[in-house]
Structure 1
Amino acid sequence: MNQLTIVGPNSPEATTSIITIQRAKLKDQHLSCEFTEQRTDDAPPRAFALTCAEQVHPDLTHALSRLVPHLCLLTEQLTETSDYWPDEAEELPAIFESFTVTGFSMGRHQSGVTLIGQRELTGGRVLNLTTPYQSFDDELATYPYTGLLEATLATALTEVEAALRGKCTDYRQLDLFEQPTTTTILPFVPTPPLA
């Protein structure tokens, strides 16, 4: 739980609120999210489901891409090799090209996660993947990279919250009937009448 401004674009006069992400899903570069918001610690949470009209910022898609190695291990799609885990700055290795993480579902009190993703098969068809629920509790964790998963997910949660507060791709729609910036006057040349 992070204490941030109320959902919507940041402004100096906005009050703070506490956001708890429950589910997030990315489809066609648009974020759909279920979350609760509290104006103060002792206020009752208000539940929201929101689909953003703007396209997500590339930071969010990057954060979700960092979850792909976990998706592959938890769904037993790939096995770990010596060069399996990429550095934060580098792109994912080629073995992950056919995989994407499209969302996640948090456990109660954000104590674990279920990752949701896809694998594009060679024929162009898509295989939907859902990991088993992975608890962050050390006593219940059966996944050896639980700490790394939790840290990587924290970055994704931060980006989802930023998207809820207005962080999106900057784009400007072009005017359909855009006027030229310079006007060229052509001389009038009369055409001879047809006989």
Structure 2
Amino acid sequence: MSQLLPVVGPDSPETRSIITIQKVKLKDQHLTCEFTEQRSEEAPPRAFALTCTEQVHPDLTHALSRLVPHLCLLAEQLTETPDYWPDESEELPALFEPFTVTGFSMGRSQGGVTLIGQRELAAGRVLNLTTPYQSFDDEQASYPYTGLLETTLATALVEVEAALRGKCTEYRQLDLFESTVAVPYIPLPSLA
């Protein structure tokens, strides 16, 4: 019987396994992913579906947030304006606030993507959004930002793979019954 590892694949760079991500879903800061893993290029791929118990690292949520402008255009939720595309370093403008990318599904051989997300409506209800499949190789593509989408998605794929290999939010839970702060005793004057 093989030992279950806390992370996917060998951790050393020289023996790192090959991961091909197929579907990604982020819910309540926990990653669910369908992927294949190969020990080497000659080895047959093994299919996995994994839900991480640790919360994802903020880098992954940031990478997914960078897909929001593409979600909005591909799902025809917003129209492009001159100041539509934010710089990589800045946060998303307020016009993207109601939108989130909750996952994506890769096409065969990672040749395209379908983005999955949500829009929070004014009444607090949620509208689920799924974009049409966008091929990266389509020469007659109607989406003019296919190259930018592919580059942004590549960053998200790197973060998903890092999460599968163990990159997550570091947090420490404090002991429930052990006090680590000394509280000095200060006598109160008697009221009598």
TM-score (norm 1): 0.87
Mark the CA change 1:184 to 1:93 in structure 2 (over 3 Å): closer, same or farther.
Answer: closer
Gaps of 5+ in 1: 1-5, 188-195
**Aligned positions of 1:58-69 closer than 5 A:** 58-69=58-69
* Aligned-residue offset at 1:7: 4.3
Task: Report the structure number with the largest CA radius of gyration.
Answer: 1
Query: Residue 168 of structure 1 aligns to a residue in which SS?
Result: coil
Q: Could you tell me how far apart the structure 2 residues matched to 1:12 and 1:150 are?
A: 28
Q: 1:16: Cα distance to partner? A: 1.7
Corresponding residue for residue 96 of structure 2: 96
- Say if 1:102 and 1:116, in contact at 8 Å, map to a contact too: yes
Cα RMSD for the two superposed structures: 2.2
Alignment-derived partner of residue 192 in structure 1: none
How much identity, in percent, do the aligned residues show? Answer: 79
Equivalent position of 2:105 in the other structure: 105
Task: Give the secondary structure class of the aligned counterpart of 1:55.
Answer: coil
* Count of aligned pairs between the two proteins: 182
How do 1:4-43 residues align onto structure 2 when only pairs under 5 Å count?
7-8=7-8, 11-12=11-12, 15-43=15-43
Deviation per residue, 1:31-75 (Å, 9 max, x gap)? 000000000101100000000000000000000000000000000
1:130-169, Cα deviation, whole Å (9 max, x unpaired): 0000000042522110000000000000000000011000
Write the distance in 2 (CA, Å) between the matches of 1:34 and 1:140: 30
* CA–CA distance in structure 2, aligned partners of residues 53 and 7 of structure 1: 11
- The 2-side partners of 1:106 and 1:140 are apart by 20
- Structure 2 counterpart SS, 1:25: strand
Structure 1 runs (4+) greater than 4 angstroms displaced: 9-14, 183-187
Deviations 1:1-39 (A, max 9, x none): xxxxx9448744983210000000000000000000000
Quickly say closer, same or farther: Cα 1:183–1:149, change in 2 above 3 A: closer
Change (3 A) 1:159 1:111: same
**In structure 2, what is the Cα distance between the partners aligned to 1:45 and 1:19?**
9
Report the Cα distance in structure 2 between the residues aligned to 1:47 and 1:9, rounded to whole angstroms: 13
In the alignment, structure 2 segments of 5+ residues that lack a partner are 1-5, 188-192
Partners of 2:64 and 2:23 in 1: how far apart? 13
Offset of residue 179 of structure 1: 2.6
